[in-house]
Amino acid sequence: MDLDGWERVSATEWRIAPRAPMRVAAVLYADEALLRAMDEKVRQQLVNVTRLPGIVEAAYAMPDAHWGYGFPIGGVAAFDADAGGVVSAGGVGFDISCGVRTVLTALRRPQFEPHQLALANELARAIPAGMGRGGYLHLDDAQLGEVLTGGARWAVEHGYGEPADLLRIEDGGQVLHAKPACVSPRAYARMRDQLGTLGSGNHYLEIQAVSEIYRPEVAEILELHRDDVVVSIHCGSRGLGHQIGTDYLQEMVHAAPSFGLQLPDRELACAPIRSDLGQRYLGAMRAASNCALANRQVLTHLLREVFSRLLPAATLRVLYDVSHNICKEETHQVDGAPRRLFVHRKGATRAFGPGHADVPDALRTVGQPVLIGGSMGTGSFVLVGAHADGARAFGSACHGAGRSMSRTGAAKRWSGRQIVAQLAERGILIRSPSMRGVAEEAPEAYKSIDQVVDAAEAAQLAHKVARLEPLVCIKG
């Protein structure tokens, strides 16, 4: 992307001033190298978002931004229902409530390494992964309805976890005001045997070691120390979320003229928040969020079972669980006054700072953990929110490294088997049912995770706490 049209506000903040038909500014957080490496479509999509009714303050893009469906991935925008604001299925995405959960193990790297191969093989057997792969739970519609209402809380109540887990999950593990009745029979059918599965694409379960500590006083509260072994799970609402996105995008496109909406891009299909369609989508989206939370909870249960068999000295406790494809109703200060807004985060995560009421009690002094997943051969990061009042991009930060090459391009360029062999030489064990999937997720197909996270910190979106190095990766 060239810099024409961008006003440089700082080393990591770029702005396009509003001009008709834009309603607000477009703001992108990145250093110059990251910005220049981005596709021109990121600018186009971000500017298109600024044209949606009821948008507040600005449309934002994170340092990992890349082209997506409707919104750029890494896009953040908030809408005021009282000002005619809309909710956009393209602003949430198809993998609703995809997110990351990081789990502490109470193990040190020397304790883990003798068991690395056995754990890699056993996790590959025990954790269902891959496109369309079903799991061990087979739920009827009534049971699925309970999952879509109860989220991770349903899973814990049914023996898949511990009550303490819920204290370290966004929304306490259960998103309120979900409406399972607004979810189509097709979406139900796609989820019937997928609870407790990773899925495909960039989803993974990864055993990691803490390789660097940047803020020791914060890391101590998060119980992170150099050479600690942790596990991160990255997945979402599987086929159910995808079907909800598909169903409502189609309905929103067809309904747009009846709302008087002139869409800058049909992929930005939306509906007024106060409309019946807008409310039905929000209810279905919240149901998908509960599905994703329950999914990560059941996967945590399967993870615990494997560790209990092979490494019983481990004690697995949830550090935090946060979603990054979501729309949430939140209160934010705008022009010095509190406003109730519907904040879309697509490929972006909440990053609430110290003292924020929505941060769990045990973590409130340091802020909400921000879990940034990298590629299978690089690393991941734990950060914490920087601002209690959500002063930057409505309290948001990036969610990963961000792709720099399409999956098709990566599969043409690299061999999955070669990648597995190369990473094994570095001590990183990859297990996947699809070698093409491994090629699509080649580490070189992503931006530099270090560069992205450094830009996020320089922009005061979040503060670095710890870097995590991959040891075992179970890929979908």
Residue type, 189: A
Tokens found for residue 137: 């739970």
Specify whether 344 is catalytic: no
Whole-angstrom distance, CA of residue 232 vs CA of residue 104: 9
Distance from C-alpha of 362 to C-alpha of 220, rounded to nearest angstrom: 12
Whether omega for the bond prior to residue 360 falls within 30 degrees of 0, making it cis, is no
**DSSP code, position 72:** P
Residue 11: how many CB atoms within 10 A of its CB?
12
Concatenate the DSSP letters of all residues of 222-257 into one string: HT--TTEEEEEEEE--HHHHHHHHHHHHHHHHHHGG
Instruction: Please state, in angstroms and rounded to a whole number, the distance separating the CA atoms of residues 248 and 15.
Output: 32
**Nearest residue to 183 (alpha-carbon basis) of 145, 210, 231:** 145
The Cβ-side half-sphere exposure at 223, using a 13 Å CA radius, reads 17
Residue bearing tokens 């045997």 = 193
Apex CA 53: angle with CA 50 and CA 56, to 5°? 60
CB atoms within 10 A of CB 350: 27
Q: What are 177's two structure tokens?
A: 């005001």
Query: Of 234, 332, 387, 399, which residue is the catalytic one?
Result: 399
Q: Which residue spans within 35-164 are E strands per DSSP?
A: 55-66, 73-79, 86-88, 99-108
Burial of residue 218, with CB atoms counted within 10 A of its CB: 0-12 exposed, 13-18 middle, 19 or more buried: buried
Contact 37, 447 (CB under 8 A): yes
Helical spans, DSSP H, in 50-182: 109-112, 116-126, 141-150, 152-157
Strand partners, 381: 372, 467
List active site positions. 399
